[in-house]
Amino acid sequence: SPNAFAGTGYKVFLFSPILSIAKNQAGLSCVIAHEMGHVLAQHSGQKVSDILFFQKWGMASIPFTNAISQEREHQADEIGIYLTALAGYDPSECAQFWHRASAATGDIRPIVNMFISTHPTNKTRFDEMKK
């Protein structure tokens, strides 16, 4: 399935189906820059801390932890837009990437998304990036 993620040591991994959604170099730049945003914001370390904290205090409510993860996705999106522009690509392509992702993979209702996903909906991301 189309996906990408940031690994340890500044590594970014892309699954090839994401290339058809990226469509062009600017779109691919948005994907890579988003993942770099996670690295720069040190989200993986924060996630480990969250897990330990929530387990210790018994606060591992799914909507609560998903809301934190979704906020980190928004932060990585924002960093990614800036990195895309710094790389010389049109940052408006990032919003278009999420529009194409929504068309290619569909989207779920936002209220359902809160309970089952650590990521915002594609439409939510598109709307935020257009702003």
Q: Domain ranges in the chain?
A: 4-130
| pLDDT tens sequence across 91-121 | 999 999 988 988 887 766 655 555 667 777 7
Question: What does the DSSP 8-state code read for residue 58?
Answer: T
- Taken in order 47, 126, 102, 26, the sign of the CA dihedral is negative
| 1 Cβ contact partners less than 8 Å away, ≥ 6 residues apart | 15, 17, 105
Which of the residue ranges 2-16, 18-32, 33-47 would you say has the lowest mean pLDDT?
Answer: 33-47
Average pLDDT of the segment spanning 55-78: 74
Average pLDDT of the segment spanning 25-36: 96
Under the banding of pLDDT at 50, 70 and 90, the label for residue 67 is: confident
